[in-house]
Amino acid sequence: MTRTRILAALLMAPIAIAAVLLLNTPWIAAVSAIVFLTALWEWLRLADIDDTLARTALLLLNLLLMVAVVWASATGGGSLVLLKMLAMAGVAWWLLATLWLRHYDFASDHDTRARVFKLAAGTLAVIPAWAALCVIHAGENGGHGNRWLLLALAIVWATDTGAYFTGRKFGKHKLAPRISPNKTIEGLVGGLVAGVLVAVAFAPLAGASLAQLPLVALVAVATVLASVVGDLFESLLKRHVGAKDSGTLIPGHGGVLDRLDSVLAALPVFAFGQIWLGF
């Protein structure tokens, strides 16, 4: 399984990097919308929407929301204001999701009310993350948006890798045993260190000055913590329905949502930090 996981990662990573660096913002918005909506399809399954027709209708509604956002932004002279507002909404949502994690049994049953909460959570996770991705890639703060987006993704990837190896070697204290028994506090620390180091090391390539590096490091800390919340929240959804993975599309990795859970939470936080601190 580990070999399959590594081979799949080696195949996906160059494709993702090439797309981020070579595609212009409208194209990256379109491609990422397809990927994010695929993750949302899996989210709907975890929310107990088993009927294919119902899941398709809900997916189309979210697609229409994306199209409406693009149309409104285009008719507004190409302004990113609406996208930025959605990204800010994403930050607010993930703060609420942190509270949800503290109450494991909330919406854990399979009744209509629980489904409504999880459906709303899916939209609040996916749409703002997609908006944040577009905002970062557009690069209003001096250009190089594609490099900043790649840096944001690299922070998440480094966090996952650092947490995995640190947790395996040093992990003793469980982070959230009821939600994700394999995650440890030591792994969190290792992931945090790895994410911040990657951010500081590669931010100059995206155009950050030496004076801005402490600000980048601060945003990286927040981004890492958000990515952990995203990971834990998907684990919570899977625990509620007794699922091991969100899907089977990616060999060795599970579903698309399994690969994007951290990214969904990290991107709005990174975008907010970049807008607020101006790098």
pLDDT digits (tens, 9 = 90+) for 67-85: 999 999 888 777 899 999 9
Cα–Cα distance between 172 and 194 in angstroms, integer? 19
Alpha helices in the chain (DSSP H): 2-22, 25-46, 52-75, 81-102, 112-138, 145-170, 185-206, 213-241, 256-277
* Token pair of 153 as six digits: 């993704």
Task: Read off the pLDDT of each residue in 152-172 and give the average, rounded to a whole number.
Answer: 94
Q: In this structure, are residues 158 and 183 in contact, taking their beta carbons and an 8 Å threshold?
A: no
Residue 186 CB partners (closer than 8 Å, separation 6+): 166, 167, 170, 171, 172, 173
24: DSSP letter: -
Is 1's pLDDT higher than 50? no
* Token pair of 8 as six digits: 């799949």
Task: Read off the pLDDT of each residue in 130-152 and give the average, rounded to a whole number.
Answer: 91
pLDDT at 10: 79
Is 6's pLDDT higher than 80? no
Read off the pLDDT of residues 215-255 as tens digits, 9 standing for 90 and up: 999 999 999 999 999 999 999 999 999 888 887 777 666 79
pLDDT at 278: 86
Read off the pLDDT of residues 194-219 as tens digits, 9 standing for 90 and up: 999 999 999 999 999 999 999 999 99
Q: In this structure, are residues 94 and 230 in contact, taking their beta carbons and an 8 Å threshold?
A: yes
Round the CA-based radius of gyration of the chain to a whole number and report it.
18
Cα–Cα distance between 124 and 159 in angstroms, integer? 23
pLDDT at 3: 67
170-178 contacts: CB < 8 A, separation 24 or more?
A: 175/228, 175/232, 176/101, 176/232, 176/235, 178/104, 178/239
Q: Give me the percent of the chain exceeding a pLDDT of 70.
A: 96
Cα–Cα distance between 243 and 104 in angstroms, integer? 16
Task: Read off the pLDDT of each residue in 26-53 and give the average, rounded to a whole number.
Answer: 95
3-state class (DSSP) for residue 250: strand
Task: Read off the pLDDT of each residue in 242-270 and give the average, rounded to a whole number.
Answer: 88
pLDDT at 198: 97
User: Which of 5, 14, 233 minimizes the C-alpha distance to 125?
Assistant: 233
pLDDT at 257: 96
Cα–Cα distance between 174 and 211 in angstroms, integer? 37
pLDDT at 252: 60
For the chain, give the longest Cα–Cα distance. 54
Q: What is the mean pLDDT of the chain?
A: 92
3-state class (DSSP) for residue 183: strand
Cα–Cα distance between 21 and 57 in angstroms, integer? 33
Range of the structural domain that residue 196 is part of: 2-277
Q: In this structure, are residues 44 and 120 in contact, taking their beta carbons and an 8 Å threshold?
A: no
pTM: 0.94
Name the pLDDT band for 171 (thresholds 50, 70, 90): confident
Q: How many domains does the chain have?
A: 1
